[in-house]
């Protein structure tokens, strides 16, 4: 009997993903996401993040997700093929992904708690640079960082926005997170840090009235924040499935050699 007998099929709204969904729909019996042992996700990386975030809502424990790329980059996806899905699932290699938890306190005093699978980013809202205080485990490590922003990235997200901001690529299982500035002005020579994933990171806006800042957990934004606290949320572990020849850890490693 298959490990993944009850399968749910979800797809993005793009024409290629919808066409692939229609093709697979006639090739087997599908169940709802709530009743599934595994989810087959058709789309791009953005849709994969959307699918994973839906499983972080307070419902039953998350189930593994096997994605097939019908988008642009597809870093978190496998190759699209309409045949041999059962065999691919049996051979698939699982990878655990631990999301970040962001707690943002607004200038208005309201508190917002959001998960992030790739990264939490802190961004200036106006032409004025952001002035930020950065703490690690309640210790002030940067009394004043003048920049366009700063982000905290997981290993799974280290090849996304973090890499574009010249942050380090983190291997899966490294037990590390990246703290990467975005266009830092002062201190000029600070280019970021690699921290143990047990670290608690705090970012405080020094002048939120004159220099407003927003906080973004993957794609969800909270504007006009006064402070953000970030840590790994080990109680909400997610599982991605990959073809052995297309495994996520190898893809992340090889990104270090892309010219």
For residues 107 and 172, state if they share a domain: yes
Q: Is 148 annotated as a binding residue?
A: yes
Considering the domain boundaries, does residue 113 fall inside one?
Answer: yes
Structurally, how many domains does the chain consist of?
2
Residue 188 lies in a domain: yes
CATH classification of the domain holding 55? 3.40.50.10330
Average pLDDT over residues 114-125: 96
Residue 157 maps to a domain: yes
19 annotated as ligand-binding:
no
On whether both 167 and 207 belong to a single domain, the answer is yes
> Which H or E run includes 148?
none
Q: Is residue 108 domain-shared with residue 30, that is, in the same domain?
A: no
Structure tokens at 20: 């692939």
Strand partners, 104: 112, 228
Ligand-binding annotation for 118, yes or no, is yes
The C-alpha atoms of residue 215 and residue 22 are separated, in whole angstroms, by 38
Domain that holds residue 31: 7-98+237-257
CA 196 to chain CA centroid, nearest Å: 17
Place of tokens 């996700």: 41
User: What is the average per-residue pLDDT within 168-184?
Assistant: 93
3-state secondary structure of 24: helix
Q: Known binder of ligand: residue 164?
A: yes
Residues 37-82 pLDDT 10s: 999 999 999 999 999 999 887 666 889 999 999 988 888 999 999 8
How much is the pTM?
A: 0.89
Q: CA–CA separation, 65 vs 41, rounded Å?
A: 7
108 tagged catalytic: no
Neighbouring-strand partners of residue 196: 176
Read off the DSSP letter of residue 81. -
Q: What is the mean pLDDT of residues 113-138?
A: 96
Q: Which of 55, 63, 77, 52 is nearest to 218 (CA)?
A: 52
The verdict on whether residue 119 carries a ligand-binding annotation is: yes
Q: Is 202 annotated as a binding residue?
A: no
- Give the residue among 214, 219, 216 at the shortest CA–CA distance from 106: 214
163 is in an annotated binding site: yes
Across the range 184-192, mean pLDDT stands at 91
Q: In sequence order, what DSSP letters do the residues of 70-134 get, joined into one string?
A: -SS--TTSBPP-SS-HHHHHHHPEEEEEPPEEEEEEETTS-EEEEEESSEEEEEESSSSPEEEEE
Catalytic residue among 26, 35, 37, 45: 45
């Amino acid at each position: 009997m298959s490990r993944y007998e009850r399968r749910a099929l979800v797809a993005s709204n793009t024409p290629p993903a919808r066409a692939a969904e229609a093709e697979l729909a006639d090739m087997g019996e599908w169940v709802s996401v709530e009743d599934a042992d595994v989810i087959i996700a058709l789309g791009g990386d953005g849709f994969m993040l959307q699918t994973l975030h839906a499983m972080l809502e307070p419902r039953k424990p998350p189930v593994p997700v096997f994605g097939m790329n019908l988008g642009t980059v597809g870093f978190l996806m496998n190759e699209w093929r309409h045949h041999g899905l059962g065999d691919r699932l049996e051979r698939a290699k699982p990878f655990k992904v631990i999301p970040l938890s962001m707690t943002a306190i607004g200038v208005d005093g309201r508190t917002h708690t959001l998960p992030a699978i790739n990264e939490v980013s802190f961004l200036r809202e106006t032409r004025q640079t952001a002035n930020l205080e950065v703490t690690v485990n309640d210790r002030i490590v940067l009394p004043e960082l003048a920049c366009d922003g700063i982000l905290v990235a997981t290993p799974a997200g280290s090849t996304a926005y973090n890499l574009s901001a010249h942050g380090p690529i983190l291997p899966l299982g490294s037990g590390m997170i990246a703290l990467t500035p975005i266009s830092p002005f002062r201190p000029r020579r600070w280019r970021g840090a690699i921290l143990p994933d047990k670290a608690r990171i705090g970012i405080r806006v020094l002048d939120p009235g004159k220099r407003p800042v927003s906080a973004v957990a993957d794609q969800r934004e909270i504007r006009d924040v006064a402070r953000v606290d970030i840590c790994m949320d080990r109680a909400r572990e997610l599982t991605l499935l990959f073809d052995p020849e297309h495994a996520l850890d190898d893809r992340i490693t090889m990104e270090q050699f892309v010219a």
